[in-house]
Every structure is written in structure tokens, then in C-alpha cells.
Chains A and B, each alone.
Chain A
Amino acid sequence: MKYIVAVIQPDRLDEVLDRLTEREIHLVTVSNILGRGRQKGISEVYRSHKEAGSLLKKVKLEIAVNEAFVKPTIDAIMGGARTGQIGDGKIFVLDLPECIRIRTGETGGIAIG
């Protein structure tokens, strides 16, 4: 089991979700987040005083998958989120030791999907 965390541009979210659905990956957690990477922010101006916008709005996706779905998930995110510009984001793949469905108490791979 893997836990896939992706940080992407907010405006790419719909495209990524569509591509995940095409690959029958339905379970996903989405959060609005702030972060910074190599991309420079758009500085804001309030009464002529510049605020260097060092933190940017991003969207974070968290998806728990079985081994067979790791590559399709990464493909879906890459395909949907990639524009070729700095700031497209990153994907992190983590090992996931356990998963428990609260309703039934099932554990392991069966609990994920």
C-alpha cells in the first residue's frame, strides 16, 4: 500500500480529478494549502506598500492506493497537473503500513478501495 501526496496548482484540480476518475480512482482527500517552492509569488500592494507574497495558494491531494494503482494515480496527476511552468508542484509517494475502515473494522488492502 502506498500513500500518495501531491501538491498542485489550484486551477489544475478539476483536470486531475477527471483523469483519476477515468482510471477508477475515486477516493481522494483535497485541501487548500499555502506553500512555497522555487516559484516566485505575485507580490500584493496595499496602499502602495508591497507585500512579497512568499507563500502561494496550492491544493494538496492525498490518495491511499494498493500497489496496482500507484502508477495510474501518478500518471493521472502528472497528466492533469503538468503545464511545463515552474510551480506545477510535486508528488510524494510514501509507504503505508496499515489502513482500517472505521465502519467495518476491515484492515489492509481491502479497506482502501
Chain B
Amino acid sequence: MKKLVTGFPFWFFVVFLAMVVYATHVSADELAAPAAAPAAPAVDTGDTAWVLVSSAMVLLMTPGLAFFYGGLVRRKNVLSILMQCFMMICLVSLQWVLFGYSLCFGPDVNGIIGNLDWVGLRSVGASPNPDYAATIPHQAFMIFQAMFAIITPALILGAFAERMRFSAFCLFSFLWATLVYDPVCHWVWGVGGFLRTAGALDFAGGTVVHINAGIAALAAALVLGKRIGYPHAISPPHSLPFAVLGAGLLWFGWFGFNAGSALGAGALATNAFVVTHVAAAAAGFTWALLDWMFNARPTLLGMITGAVAGLVAITPAAGFVNTIGSIWIGIGAAVFCYLMVAFAKVKLGYDDSLDAFGVHGIGGIWGALATGLFATQAVNPAGANGLFYGNAAQVWIQLKAVLVTTVYSFVVSYILLKLVDVLVGLRAAEQDERIGLDLTQHREAGYTLLE
């Protein structure tokens, strides 16, 4: 007899419903208001408008990433990439409002994690939370942060593209968002988080988003192993125009990502906007010239890869460095990521299919350290001075945040991948991988041959 339902999605749905029931139950009781509640700060309409627009722009980065990655894979796998990105939007959004936001930003537990007071967005409402953003509704901050939680695990999929089972992808992504992203986000950005308390600077997520995802990508590439036929029998990118479209959307969305992280519409957001743009331009330009020098021709794929590397590197620094600093950060991003992708990856022999580690991991680490070099309080009095402005200690603080994130992300990601492998099997069957994930995992085809 034919099975009524497939086992994995059934149990996944049961767990999801259980979480919804729990959140419904918890959020029925309002939290007691603090004894002497201070007068609620006023909401600024300009700030709120900018943060809401920024949230939409950051959301658009995930479909942008889908096209960036989707263009780089083979025809038979393009839908699997788009599907994984859209699944991430749906899955993490729900995880976020049910309990992810509470784990990241809820009341602190020993500097390690938020507690569950804000499950189901209990007490996350219209009035501002001055700890995070004093001039916008708390829910505006919450939904802005939701977009970061979505794109971070989506970045990882570049490392395991074209060979992971979809059920394994769903389970891993859900566990990673909960057990890696949420704690690291709390350490760096949550009130009471231990890296925030230590003074680490991460304006828009260089550590939380890019190093975190980039290192997890390295773990994924190592645990899953190479694609069949890598490196010699892998066809070139099936649609570079798609990849360029995706890179363009990423660049556009990144203004929301970085300038939006000012959480207000003012001078700081403007600085972040300008340095974000300049760093991307410097890195794209540099990469094209490096290609030209080493391979005799400048390539389009190189140029957009460079631009993305520059955007990654400026992310932690956007609110702390000036324009000249951002040019150096962009140049450094192109040089370091180029060395990784063009030379080191070949020597090391792992298959980071779309260079998620090479660009986001390396670019993120460079950006975090460069923040410790180029940061200046002339840009942001709430920040700190870096090495070039007389404060060598900041580099050490940045390095510590990088090391802690790297070790935690690698170890936990590695364990989660092994766990998922035992539970549902990480890799698609060999025959499925040869046929392509679109047909075997989704029963769909990206392109038809006949009309």
C-alpha cells in the first residue's frame, strides 16, 4: 500500500505545530510591566520609515543570493538553489517570531543566550525598546533583524550546492539557525552578550553573519565531500547573466543591510551607505585588475565576486570607518579573497562549490580585523578608535571575537552536519546527483528543451 504521507515532512510539520502551540500558550499571559516603567520614548517616523524600507531591502538580498548562486550552478540544479533560498525565508521567519528573536535579543542568561520571555513576540510591540533602538517600534527592530537571520544560513548553501538532500538541508538549516546563529547573535548584539560587553565592534554583522556563515560553509564542504567529478568534470556556470543580476540585487540590498543598521535615518546611516558603496566599488575594480594581471583577461564573474567580497568586508566596519578607510578595506577584501579562491582552495582540495567560505569567511575575517585598524570615533563617537587612530587594543578585541566565532561556528556546525547525516542522510544518492537535484529532489525542471 502506498504511504499516505512522506515521513520526514510529516514529523517536521508536527514539530512546527508543537512550537506554534507552545508560543500560543506562552504569549497568552502578558509579561508584567517593570515596576517603575519609564515614560515610553517617542517613535520617530523618519527612522521608522528607513528601518522598514531597509528590512524590505535586506529581504530582497536572499532572492538576490538565489540568482547569484543559481547562475553559478549547472542547469540541472538551478531550481534546487532557488528553492533552498525561498525555503530559508519561510522557515527562518517562522523560527524567528516563534522563539529565535527571543533567544537572540531576549533578556540575557549569563551572556550566552537570550531567555524565552519573548516567545511568540510576547511584549515585542509598538513601543520602542531603548536598549536596541530608541526611536522605532520594537517590532520594526525585530523584523529588520529577522532578515539577517534569514540570509545568514542561506549564505552557507553555496558550499554544499548541487549535492545535499533537501530534507537534510531543511533540518540542518533549522538546527543551525537555532544553535549557531541565535547564540552568536546574542553574544555580539544582545544586551548582556559577552562579546558586546567586551567591546567588539560589529556594525552590521561581519562576525554574526559573514564569519559565522563562512566558517559553517567550510565545515559543510569538508563533511559533505566533493561533488562527483570535481574539479575536472564540472561544467562552467550555466548562466552568468543570472549571477550578475543576483550580485546587483545583493549590492542594492546591502544598503539596507549596512545603512539600515544605523537604526535611524541620519548621519550615521549616510556614512554607512557611502562606505558600503565605495568598498564594493574598490573591491570589484581590484578583482577585475587581478584577473587581468594573472589570467590575461578581466572577467565579469571575477568583478562581481570582488564586489560581493568588498560588501562582506565593509559590513562590520560600515558605522565606524571613513571613506578612505573603506577603499583600503575594499582593496584588501579583493586581494585576500582572490588569493583564497584562486590559489589556496586548489591547493587544499576541498569543494566549496560557490566559494561561500572563500568570499564570506575570508572577507568577513578581513573586515572584522580591518574594523580594528580603520575605526575612528570621528565617524561614530559610540564606537572606538582602531590601530591607525592610536588604539592598538581594538585589534586584539576584534581578533578575539573572530576566534571565538570561528571556533564555535566550526565545531557546532560540524557536529550538526554529522547529526543530520545520521538522522536523514546528508548527501543525495549518487544517481540523483548525476541526474540533478531539480528533478530528483523537487520533480521540477528549470528549463524545457522543447517548447
Contacts and interface: CB of A to CB of B under 8 A. Distances in A.
Contacts of B338: 48
A93 B302 CA distance: 46
Contacts of B341: 47-48
Interface majority SS on B: helix, strand, loop or mixed?
helix
B237 A49 contact: no
A61 B236 CA distance: 27
Interface string B331-365: 00000001001110010000000010000000000
A47 B236 contact: no
Contacts of A45: 291, 295, 297, 299
Nearest to A50: B295
A48 B355 CA distance: 12
Nearest to A51: B236
A48 B295 contact: yes
A48 B342 contact: yes
A46 B236 CA distance: 7
Contacts of B384: none
Contact of B302 (A44, A47, A50, A51): A47
A48 B298 CA distance: 10
B305 interface: yes
A46 B299 contact: yes
Contacts of A48: 291, 294-295, 302, 338, 341-343
Contacts of A49: 231, 342, 346
A51 B343 CA distance: 15
Interface in A51-85: 51
A20 to B, nearest CB: 27
B417 interface: no
Nearest to A52: B232
B110 to A, nearest CB: 43
Contacts of B299: 45-47
Contact of B305 (A44, A47, A50, A51): A47
Contacts of A47: 299, 301-302, 305, 341-342, 355
B308 to A, nearest CB: 12
A36 to B, nearest CB: 16
Nearest to B359: A47
B237 A46 contact: yes
A49 B234 CA distance: 11
A12 to B, nearest CB: 25
Interface string B313-338: 00000000000000000000000001
A45 B355 CA distance: 15
Interface in B269-323: 291, 294-295, 297, 299, 301-302, 305
Contacts of B291: 45, 48
A96 B297 CA distance: 48
A18 to B, nearest CB: 29
A56 to B, nearest CB: 14
Nearest to B231: A49
Contacts of B301: 46-47
Contacts of B237: 46
A98 B302 CA distance: 54
Interface string B227-266: 0000100001100000000000000000000000000000
A47 to B, nearest CB: 5
Interface string B87-104: 000000000000000000
Contacts of B305: 47
Top 6 A-B pairs, shortest CB-CB distance: A48-B342, A45-B295, A51-B236, A47-B341, A46-B236, A46-B301
Given A45-B299, A49-B231, A51-B236, 19 more contacts: A45-B295, A46-B236, A46-B237, A46-B299, A46-B301, A47-B299, A47-B301, A47-B302, A47-B305, A47-B341, A47-B342, A47-B355, A48-B291, A48-B294, A48-B295, A48-B302, A48-B341, A48-B343, A49-B346
Interface of B: 231, 236-237, 291, 294-295, 297, 299, 301-302, 305, 338, 341-343, 346, 355
25 contacts: A44-B236, A45-B291, A45-B295, A45-B297, A45-B299, A46-B236, A46-B237, A46-B299, A46-B301, A47-B299, A47-B301, A47-B302, A47-B305, A47-B341, A47-B342, A47-B355, A48-B291, A48-B295, A48-B302, A48-B338, A48-B341, A48-B342, A49-B342, A50-B295, A51-B236
